[in-house]
């Protein structure tokens, strides 16, 4: 029973947010250099996952202090936290200790890569990543409560993680790598935005200023629609400019998921139960778009 509770606390299904940018960054490096460091890729992936899991549990711990999860009546796989603290399955202090342990373990892998590669950019990215992972909801900064959640997650799980994976493979930097990291982060930010709709009332009640709370549901859903559209203009634009290979157009095969997310969210953004179809579609849109984009770089 305890193992099941810990698996629930990890919320490992959200690790796609780590896998996607690392694959895109690695694919962009392969496209640029034709080389691949398997050990570096493995350590970047596992280290990133550990820090992400630590962030998940840290978020649960600090949200339990603010009681936003306790007040949330719209619980799903995409919002409301893991609930292990609220259900009394695991003490809050144990969750915090496990969160810090994961972050330390992931950081040690990052330190090894920094020392091995003597990469200052990798050191800066890794340090900022751990900082954001803890202080996303951690006191005293609680950045996710101050209208910065979407920006932090979009940059952290987009350019920072994708370029970090890129620097593990090659010391140089190309326009391809930078441009490829943008839609990764944008789609992740839109995953976060759509997941905030069911949390609207509970977040507002405790002063957690997400973009949906700040803008209101009507304006936030319009911003979300623009956000999921941009990647489908972005990739063809960079193919035409000669910065992305033509194979990267494979990412456009995920368009049906974007269309479904658009239609469901437009019709049901006021309904916390019916909007879940958009939550799920956006989750798989982020994953499939970026897997196909990374495959396009490999083939290119």
Q: What is the pTM of this model?
A: 0.94
- Cα–Cα distance measured from residue 210 to residue 199, given in angstroms and rounded to the nearest whole number: 9
- Cα–Cα distance measured from residue 199 to residue 7, given in angstroms and rounded to the nearest whole number: 23
pLDDT of residue 77: 73
pLDDT of residue 67: 82
Structure tokens at 169: 């493979």
- Cα–Cα distance measured from residue 199 to residue 73, given in angstroms and rounded to the nearest whole number: 8
- Residue ranges covered by each domain of the chain: 2-299
At residue 76, the 3 state secondary structure works out as: strand
Mean pLDDT by 10 residues, the chain (300 residues): 88 95 97 94 98 96 86 73 90 96 98 96 96 94 92 96 97 94 97 95 91 96 98 98 97 98 97 94 98 96
pLDDT of residue 73: 65
Question: Would you state the CATH architecture of domain 2-299?
Answer: Orthogonal Bundle (1.10)
């Amino acid at each position: 029973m305890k193992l099941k509770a810990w698996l629930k606390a990890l919320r490992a299904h959200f690790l796609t947010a780590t896998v996607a940018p690392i694959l895109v960054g690695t694919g962009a490096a392969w496209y640029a250099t034709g080389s691949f460091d398997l050990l570096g890729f493995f350590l970047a992936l596992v280290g990133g996952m550990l820090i992400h899991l630590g962030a998940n549990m840290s978020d649960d711990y600090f949200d339990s202090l603010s009681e936003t999860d306790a007040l949330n009546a719209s619980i799903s796989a995409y919002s409301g936290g893991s609930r292990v603290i609220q259900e009394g399955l695991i003490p809050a202090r144990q969750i915090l200790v496990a969160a810090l342990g994961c972050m330390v373990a992931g950081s040690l892998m990052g330190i090894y890569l920094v020392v091995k590669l003597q990469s200052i950019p990798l050191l800066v990215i890794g340090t900022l990543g751990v900082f954001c992972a803890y202080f996303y909801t951690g006191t005293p900064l609680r950045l996710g409560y101050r209208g910065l959640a979407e920006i932090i997650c979009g940059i952290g799980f987009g350019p920072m993680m994708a370029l970090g994976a890129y620097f593990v493979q090659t010391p140089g930097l190309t326009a391809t790598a930078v441009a490829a990291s943008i839609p990764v982060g944008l789609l992740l930010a839109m995953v976060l935005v759509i997941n905030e709709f069911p949390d609207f009332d509970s977040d507002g009640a405790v002063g957690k200023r997400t973009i949906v709370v700040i803008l209101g549901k009507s304006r936030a859903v319009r911003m979300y629609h623009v956000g999921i559209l941009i990647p489908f203009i972005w990739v063809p634009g960079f193919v035409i400019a000669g910065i992305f290979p033509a194979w990267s157009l494979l990412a456009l095969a995920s368009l049906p998921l974007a269309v479904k997310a658009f239609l469901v969210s437009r019709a049901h953004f006021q309904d916390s139960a019916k909007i879940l179809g958009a939550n799920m579609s956006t989750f798989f849109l982020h994953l499939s778009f970026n897997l196909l984009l990374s495959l396009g770089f490999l083939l290119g």
